[in-house]
């Protein structure tokens, strides 16, 4: 009889132990943060502001790397496949995304196209003159929607909706965080509206054709030296035309960016006898900017101050 009681007691203890392990496992799963992989800086910063402490967020394209030239490694693709959520801007920016999505288990990984529902502008880039014999142009979409504070709000809404889908139990947190951050973006938009409301000179010349959405939003005119890719080099004819344009229109500043070579912009500025200044397309931050705690809003405020040199 004593032996029977001992056996029953041991079995009961085993059941309790297994139940404890099961509960611990469930608690651990409940406490596990959402794993989110983003492509480049604006997607990372928008997602971080929406997710708050509810997710572990990583960024594929690190500081100093030009997103237009980036191709994911096998390790990067594995990170996407293992994530709960994958956030990208658009297939016109991250041109490699469609091929990755073909093999991605979207039941396991929620995919967020941040520019979904935004009408992308058509953009025309001149092909290299050696290949440009028939006078035709190559058509593309301009992906730089995040540079409009208004369209940035739409991207934030898309990201919030995707996070809610992937993690319904924290939906309220994502909604509240998105509302708070959207208000900050609305204030940024108001700053731009106020600054340019009565400007007479509304034209700016920039190295990289990244600011069409910003220009459209505030009734400005962007005159780019190169095309959608900052590494595209203009022809000597284009540079000569721009030199004349800068003189005729009394353009005071030529803008360049920090993570790409400023050589072309500075060459034009030197030939035209005008100054240069940074206009950041926010395709990535430098290591120094990251160290200083800069973010989308602070850089966009710096862009606003830089544009005031031309738009006044």
Domain CATH number, residue 105:
3.40.50.1980
Query: Residue 233 has what pLDDT?
Result: 78
Same domain, 158 and 288: no
Same domain, 175 and 274: no
Position with higher pLDDT, 100 vs 65: 100
Q: Per the structure block, which two tokens stand in for 62?
A: 């690190």
The verdict on residue 299 lying in a domain is yes
Q: Per the structure block, which two tokens stand in for 242?
A: 């721009």
Same domain, 156 and 270: no
Interhelix angle 149-166/41-51, rounded to 10 degrees, is 60
Please identify, among 152, 167, 189, the residue that sits at the C-terminal boundary of a domain.
189
Same domain, 162 and 205: no
Same domain, 214 and 262: yes
The verdict on residue 164 lying in a domain is yes
Q: What is the DSSP string of 219-275?
A: T-EEEESS-SSTTPPPPHHHHHHHHHHHHHTT--EEEE-SSS--HHHHHHHHHHT-E
Give the global pTM. 0.86
Same domain, 62 and 90: yes
Number of domains in the chain: 2
Q: Which domain holds residue 243?
A: 195-307
The verdict on residue 179 lying in a domain is yes
Q: What is the number of alpha carbons within 13 Å of residue 258 lying toward its C-beta?
A: 17
Express each pLDDT in 164-220 by its tens digit: 999 999 999 999 999 999 999 999 999 999 999 999 999 999 998 999 999 999 999
Query: Residue 12 has what pLDDT?
Result: 47
Q: What is the DSSP string of 264-280?
A: HHHHHHHHHT-EEEE--
Same domain, 205 and 148: no
Same domain, 219 and 293: yes
Residue 124 pLDDT exceeds 70: no
Position with higher pLDDT, 257 vs 45: 45
């Amino acid at each position: 009889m004593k032996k029977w009681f001992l056996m029953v007691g041991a079995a009961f203890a085993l059941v309790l132990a297994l139940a404890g392990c099961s509960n611990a496992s469930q608690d651990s799963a409940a406490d596990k943060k959402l794993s989110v992989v983003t492509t480049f800086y604006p997607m990372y910063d928008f997602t971080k502001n929406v997710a708050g402490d509810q997710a572990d967020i990583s960024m594929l394209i690190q500081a100093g790397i030009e997103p237009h030239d980036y191709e994911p490694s096998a390790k990067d693709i594995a990170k996407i496949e293992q994530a709960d959520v994958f956030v990208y801007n658009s297939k016109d920016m991250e041109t490699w995304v469609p091929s990755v999505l073909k093999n991605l288990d979207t039941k396991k990984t929620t995919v967020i196209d941040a520019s979904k529902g935004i009408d992308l502008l058509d953009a025309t880039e001149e092909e290299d003159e050696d290949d440009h014999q028939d006078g035709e142009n190559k058509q593309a979409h301009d992906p730089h929607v995040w540079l409009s504070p208004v369209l940035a709000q739409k991207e934030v809404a898309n990201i919030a909706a995707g996070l809610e889908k992937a993690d319904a139990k924290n939906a309220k947190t994502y909604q509240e965080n998105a509302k708070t951050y959207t208000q900050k973006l609305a204030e940024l938009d108001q700053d731009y509206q106020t600054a340019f409301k009565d400007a007479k000179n509304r034209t700016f010349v920039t190295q990289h054709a990244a600011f069409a959405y910003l220009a459209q939003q505030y009734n400005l005119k962007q005159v780019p030296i190169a095309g959608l890719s900052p590494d595209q080099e203009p022809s000597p004819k284009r540079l000569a035309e721009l030199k004349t344009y800068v003189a005729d229109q009394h353009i005071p500043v030529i803008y360049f960016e920090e993570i790409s070579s400023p050589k072309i912009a500075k060459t034009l500025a030197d030939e035209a006898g005008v100054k240069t200044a940074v206009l950041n397309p926010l395709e990535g931050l430098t290591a120094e900017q990251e160290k200083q705690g800069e973010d989308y809003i602070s850089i966009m405020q710096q862009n606003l101050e830089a544009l005031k040199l031309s738009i006044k």
